[in-house]
Structure 1
């Protein structure tokens, strides 16, 4: 199986975005977030992206229907589609470990089973895996942006012993530091004067610090994290996330544009 075949299988299963990261982009990660600790003989990480419908944000945007975000979310079938994708690969003889995003706060909660091994659970940084697989980059508002959908997707990862040709890292810059996400937040949860950063084997993430406690009580569309209730809230439907969607669409920076504008006044 080559990369083209793998991507076709993923699309046939119902995946919207597919990227592949090589082992060398993974090996330097901290042990408690390193897929090689889960599968020492891993060769590749396949990252699968599932779009959140733009219409899922419409009810919040018009202030009429907050639960529209749930109806247009892929969360109800992501695990099943990822399972079916992995089943195809394992039927061909390649082991697959499916992973979803979890709070890093859950790392080091267990007891190491042997000297030199990290405490369970090993929890990957899904945003970094998506970046390492060439699917986009982190914006200044700490929202992962893809060239297809901007911030409108959720990811799952598949660690496998199948060696595949990796995708190139995303070379563009979807986030043009417009500040729309920062300005949209009524709680001023962003610290616009400061930067946070985290270094990874294949790149550096930089973003404006977010006072997450403000996001937890946000009334503009912030919801519990779709992967993990203990993690940071999901801000896609909040004022910051929707401002990002509106700006990226209005500026023509997305590949998958709809026929109508998200906001008429953009």
Structure 2
């Protein structure tokens, strides 16, 4: 029965044109893959005690829009993807409720704004860790989940459900190639090559940089995910050479386009 339910759920995801879907058993949180690990109050079964499975969906951030970051183009793309994630996860949770399995969606960010993030730079639930346990990717030096399809250029949303769904295997092959472009090009110096995979060296610095961009209505930053060379989307858009972001002579046409976009829409 649980396998039939999962198959029906996957069909719904395909109908919604959701490209990435994975399922994790909540017990996986109790066996941390690395240290330091999150406190137990962040586990899905602590947030929703009925939870037996976590369904994670991923939507890509289109690389050409992201390349102009920080910009109004990337900001609007980011907000659009966030809105779709909330709508899709809500609809999937409601479907599971109708099937008799108590379920609830988790909002894609989980904080009320950058001011709240500066005060406490962590959300009540990590979609990235859920996506890892659901087999969608592995962590990179930039503290993002890297997927084979889109590298870190993916936003995730989650559903906590009482349905005992068959889990997907956790990805064991490391996706990150440790090129360190994210470390070298981070405008806030928030990343450290020695901190992988535990997380950001300085979450506060990242949040403060976002706060400055927010004053200009250009947040989020996006630099560490646009310079990452991982992902089939780079091949699709003809961007295999990720060094183009630091060396304008490689593609002056692209740099002209990015500067044009950045010149409009912000303060």
Q: Which gives a bigger RCO, structure 1 or 2 (Cα 8 Å, sep 6+)?
A: 2
TM superposition shift of 1:44: 0.7
Cα deviation, 1:44-68, whole Å, max 9, x if unaligned, reads 11011111111221333xxxx8111
Higher strand share: 1
TM-superposed CA distance for 1:102, in Å, is 2.7
Task: Tell me which residue corresponds to 2:256.
Answer: none
Q: 2:230 aligns with which of 248, 251, 266?
A: 248
Give, in angstroms, the shift of residue 207 of structure 1. 4.4
In the other structure, the counterpart of 1:92 is 99
Could you say if the C-alpha distance between residues 256 and 93 of structure 1 is closer, same or farther in structure 2, counting changes exceeding 3 Å? farther
Larger proportion of helix: 2
Q: TM-score, normalization: structure 1?
A: 0.70
Superposed, 1:177-216 pairs within 5 Å as: 177-192=178-193, 194-195=194-195, 205-207=197-199, 209-210=201-202, 212-213=204-205, 216=208
Unaligned runs of 5+ in 2: 32-37, 117-122, 245-249, 252-267
Match of residue 22, structure 2, among 19, 29, 46: 19
The runs of 5 or more residues in structure 1 that have no matched partner are: 107-121, 197-204, 225-232
Secondary structure of 1:206's match?
coil
Aligned counterparts of 2:138 and 2:145: Cα–Cα separation in 1: 6
SS at match of 2:14: helix
Counterpart for residue 200 of structure 1: none
- Could you tell me which residue of structure 2 aligns to residue 53 of structure 1? 62
Aligned runs of 1:1-266 on 2, under 5 Å?
1-27=4-30, 30-60=39-69, 66-73=71-78, 74-100=81-107, 101-102=109-110, 123-192=124-193, 194-195=194-195, 205-207=197-199, 209-210=201-202, 212-213=204-205, 216-217=208-209, 234-235=220-221, 237-238=222-223, 240-244=224-228, 247-249=229-231, 254=232, 257-261=235-239, 265=250
Q: Is the 8 A contact 2:190 2:200 kept in 1?
A: no
Distance 1:208 1:76 in 2: 26
* Closer, same or farther: CA 211–99 of 1 in aligned 2, 3 Å: closer
* Equivalent pair of 1:13/1:85 in contact (CA under 8 Å): no
Indicate the SS of the match to 2:236: coil
- Contact 1:138–1:206 (Cα < 8 Å) also in 2: no
The number of equivalent residue pairs is 222
Structure 1 contact 141–208 (Cα < 8 Å) conserved: yes
Once residues 163 and 95 of structure 1 are traced to their aligned partners in structure 2, the CA distance between those partners, rounded to angstroms, is 11
Following TM superposition, by how much is the alpha carbon of 1:208 offset from its aligned partner in structure 2, in angstroms? 5.9
Shift of 1:218: 6.5
Within 2, Cα distance between the matches of 1:9 and 1:134? 19
Structure 2 CA distance for aligned equivalents of residues 256 and 20 of structure 1: 26
